[in-house]
Every structure is written in structure tokens, then in C-alpha cells.
Chains A and B, each alone.
Chain A
Amino acid sequence: MRGNLRALLYLSPWLAGFAIFFVYPLLSTVYFSFQRYDLFTLEPVGLLNWEYFLKDQAAWTAIRNTLWLVVVMVPLRVLFGLGVAQLVTRLKAGVGVYRTIFYLPALVPLVAGTLGFVFLLNPGTGPVQAILSAVGLPAPDWFGDPAWSKWGLTLLGLWSVGDLMVIFMAALLDVPKQLYEAAAIDGANGWRQFTSITLPVIRPVLMFALVTGVIQTLQYFTQAEVAARVASGATDSAGSVFTPGYPDQSTLTFPQWLFQQGFRDYAMGYACVLALVLFAVAMAFTLILLRQFRFTEEES
């Protein structure tokens, strides 16, 4: 019993934080989703916000865009991160230098990295267009063309793949060497070794990376917002003129639409409906993660 009290004492900051910044706001979000609230007047509207959600074209565009990023960008990042990690662990010399270089972009502030990429990929100012046309490839107007803007964001995501690379490198180095030696004796070549030894052993790490990648992408906000703002050249000092999604709503993500509704248009009741939709989806993936989570406890 004393043990429980002591634990309570040590946990108290987090317990208070959990109550104030999670449980209360979550219940409150449910309450507000049935209200119309614009910071001044509060009016119960029943299911109106929910009905509006079903008809809200922009919300569904935002869902489609977010889903695109989840389906395309997340697996590409995992594959690329795994490829780079595999390459670096196989190098006999300069591992530290390469690891540093490949990890560095992951640390670059999101706003700074996004600004750099918009400028870099801009056909008028960056070299990417010249390089692509030199080798005979189409040179799109990345952040100015709705068909290509999400690919521009994907390139930015691949550039900052360093955190995944570090995690995969650790996992790859943990694969027992004897397994490879035994396989080599049995005559298994590189690709066979990769599919029948490496992949099965690091599968939990890959799953973890995929699921956390999906959850992070459900929150995708800053890069899309900054890219759209810079590419459109929108003037925005009072948070009034800018509409996210440029070009043509192609980079509008779900959290951006939530932010737009709640904090630019002050449709706070409706924003809570969007928040609950986001909660349901994120929670589903979090549950997958929790089930998969192995307890690294020295249990006594």
C-alpha cells in the first residue's frame, strides 16, 4: 500500500497533466461537437455539425489528401530508410560520416526545410528542372501543380528519412551474424538472405515504423501549410487571407482543415467533429501499436 502511495506521488505531475490536458479536453470535445460555438455564443445544435461533416466537400478532399500521404509517402519512407540503412551497414569504411550526412536533414527545422524545397523545386529558381530535362524526364512545376504538389512533399519526406535510417541500422546490426553464416553455407545468396533472414528478424521494427509513420502522417500539418503559403505567395500577417491547400486544395490535409475551421473561421463546434474523426482513426492505429508493443521490462 505504501508502494502505491509513493508511485502516486512520483506520477502526480503526469496524472494532473493527463486529466487537464487529455481527459477533460476529450470529453469537452464531445460536448462541443453538438454545439455551435464561435467564442462568443454557445448554442446546442444536436447533430447539425455531424450532418454538415458528411456534406463538407473540403473535409473529404482533406481526407483524400491525407490518405494519399499515408498510402504513398509512409511506405516509400520506410522502404527508402531501410535501403539506406542496409547500404550504410554494408559499407566497410566511412560509416560514421555517411550516417551523419544522411541523418542531418532529419534535424533541419520543418519550416526551413520546406522553404528550401519549394525554392529548390521551383522551375524558375532551382536546378532540379534543368537536371530532369537534361536526362529527358518531364520537369513539373512541383508546388505549383496540383498533380505534383504531394509528390513534392513526398520528396521532402524522403530527404528527412534519417530518423528511420538510424532505427533500421540499429535493428540490422542486431540480426545475429551466425544466421547469415549458416545461410551462406547453405548457398543462399544476398537477396535470399535478405528475404529469409533479415526481413523476418526486423519485422517488428518495420511494423513499428509503419504504424508510427501512419500516426505521424495523420498529423501532417507544417510542411503542407508552409509549402502552400510560400508557393502561393499569400500575404498573411493577420491569419486572414491565407487559405491552405494551394494549389487547388491539393495539399490540404485533415489537420489543416481542422485548424482552419476551429481557429481561423472559429467554427469550434464543427472543428470538434473533425477532431473526433481524427481521434477515432488515430486511436485505431495506436491500438495496433499497443498490441504489438513488447514490454521491455525486467519483470520481477
Chain B
Amino acid sequence: MTRTALLWVARHALAIALALMFLGPLVFIALTALMSDRQALTSDLWPHTWNWGNFAEIFAKAPLLTWIRNTLLYSLLATAFMLVSSIPVAYALARFRFRGRRLAFLLVITTMMLPPQVVAVPIYLIWARFHLTGTLWPLILPMLLGDAFSIFLLRQFLVTIPRDYSDAAKVDGCGEFRTLVRVILPMARPAIAAVALFQFFYCWNDYYGPLLYAGTDLDNWTLSLGLAAFRSVHRVQWNLTMAATLLAMAPVIVVFFFAQKVFIEGVKLTGVK
């Protein structure tokens, strides 16, 4: 009895210590964001004065609103395009019997796994030919042609829906497309929400893509791009850099608290053997 109690205490002590380590950097960023520029350069942990004005100041120092608008445009359009194109593909891979089905699925996994840098040069040249380098469109438009990771994830969920449901719909006279829209999609809502959130945040956080395509004009930059150059380009202090960092994290953290279950279930889908 005492041994189990000791074990209980030990486990919770370890869990609390870990929780402090995981939360520590976030708290530290938040506290620094509120310090004066002088104090941010010391190893102090607690702000002497609470400089809420830092959050207003970062908007004056850099075109943050433009960056936020660009990032939102990129994230929202890419997510919408991805959903429209990827859902039918995932459905076909999960449900239809056709020649090359296995091969098609293996190729989806392969494209999902291979580093984007492998084919970066020719793709860059394609967009250069259309004079779209220097914009975010090269990151948005391909989403109309499906996203391998989302297809994979949706397919993993769709195969778990028993066939009986779609069979029943067909008995009622639904065609394949209506079955997909009326019966399967409502049932797949958690998976669709998960891929939509993953896609949105992938774009929101993306640094490599905008670095390659957004070019040198600050007006085309995204939040990630601006944040990475924030200190050097705008010669601002650490406290303001941390304030901007907090600003970039905030939406992700807020959405996570509201849609936690969607995220966790989605991550589980990626881990299937």
C-alpha cells in the first residue's frame, strides 16, 4: 500500500517537473515580452515594470498587419483548396476498387515522405516562367491538386467507416457522389477538421515556403518570415522580438485549447502502423 502511494507521489512529482520544463520557455517568452528593452538584456526573469505598450510598438516598427493579412490569405486559401481537391482522392483510395489502387496509395505515401527540397529547383522555374515568384501563389495554387499528407490522413479515417452506411445510401438510390457528400462527409467530420487544422497551421507556421517564394518585398512577407528577420531588419530589441513571437504563437495556442480533441485524434491517425 505504501509502495503504491510512494510510486504515485514520484510519478506526479516527475510529471510536474516536466510540465514546468515544457511551459517554462513559453512563460519566459511572455515575461520578456513585457519587459523594458534594457531589462530584456539582463538575465532577470520578472519584469520590473509591465510594458504593455510593447505590443502596440511592434505594430509601429514593422508592417505586422500586412504580414498577418498575407499569412491568413495563404493559410485560408491553401486549406480550402486542399479540402476540395483531397477529399475525393482520399475517398477513392479508401473505397473504390480499381487497378493500381495499391500503387496509387504507395505513391501518395512516397510523395508525402520525400523532402520538398528534392524537386524545388524545377518547380521554382515553373513559377518563374509564370512570373509568380515574389508572391505567395506558388504555395497556394498547388493545393488545388491535392496534398499528399491530407490525402493519407483522410484515407486512414475513411477506411474505418463501415461499408454498410454507404451501401444503405445506395439502396436508397444515392449515386456515388451523393453518398460521399450526404453520408460519408458528415461522418468524417472529425478527420476533415483535423486535416483542415493541420493544413492551416502548417501554412501559418511555414517558413521554408515563403522564404523561397515571397521574395524581398516586405509587403509580400508572411509572419514567420518577418519574425525571423524582425531583430535584424528592424533593429529592434529582444523584448519587442519576444512580443512579436508571442503574437505569432497566440492564435495557435487559442485554437488548440478550443479544438484540442480534434488535434489529438488527428495526430493519432498519423501514427498508424
User: Residues on A close to B: CB < 8 A?
Assistant: 3-4, 6-8, 10-11, 13-14, 16-18, 20-22, 24-26, 28-29, 32, 39, 84, 87-88, 90-94, 98-105, 107-113, 115-117, 119-120, 124-127, 129-130, 159, 163, 166-168, 170-171, 204-205, 208-209, 212, 215, 218-219, 221-222, 225-226, 229-230, 233-239, 255, 258-259, 262-263, 268, 271-272, 275-276, 278-279, 282-283, 285-286, 289-290, 292-298, 300
A238 touches B216 (CB 8 A): yes
Q: Decide: B128 and A11 in contact? CB cutoff 8 A.
A: no
- Can you list 10 residue pairs at the A/B interface with Cβ under 8 Å? A25-B123, A29-B121, A29-B122, A163-B267, A218-B115, A229-B229, A230-B231, A237-B233, A275-B117, A297-B159
A236 and B233 contact, CB distance less than 8 A: yes
Given the complex of chains A and B, what is the CA–CA distance between A263 and B123 in angstroms? Answer: 12
Since A7-B101, A166-B268, A300-B163 are in contact, a sample of 16 more A-B pairs with Cβ atoms closer than 8 Å, ordered by chain A residue number, is A7-B92, A13-B146, A16-B145, A25-B119, A26-B119, A112-B245, A115-B245, A208-B271, A237-B229, A278-B117, A279-B115, A282-B115, A283-B114, A289-B109, A295-B102, A296-B160
Chain B interface: which size bin? 35 or more
**Chain A residues near B126 (CB, 8 Å)?**
20, 25
The answer to whether A103 and B113 touch across the interface, beta carbons within 8 angstroms, is no
Given A112-B249, A278-B115, decide whether A126 and B43 contact each other with a Cβ distance below 8 A: yes
Please name all residues of chain A whose beta carbon is closer than 8 Å to the beta carbon of B85 when the two chains form the complex: 13-14, 17
- Closest A residue to B260 using CB positions: A100
Known: A39-B128, A109-B252, A296-B159. A130 touches B205 (CB 8 A): no
Chain B residues contacting A275 (CB-CB under 8 Å) are 117-121
Given A18-B111, A26-B119, A101-B23: A11 in contact with B273 (beta carbons within 8 A):
no
A205, B273: Cβ atoms under 8 Å?
yes
B46 CB to nearest A CB, Å: 11
Interface segment out of the listed B8-16, B49-57, B186-194: B8-16
Within 8 A of A (CB), among B68-90: 85-86, 88-89
Closest chain A CB from B268 CB (angstroms): 5
* Interfacial chain A residues near B151, Cβ < 8 Å: 14
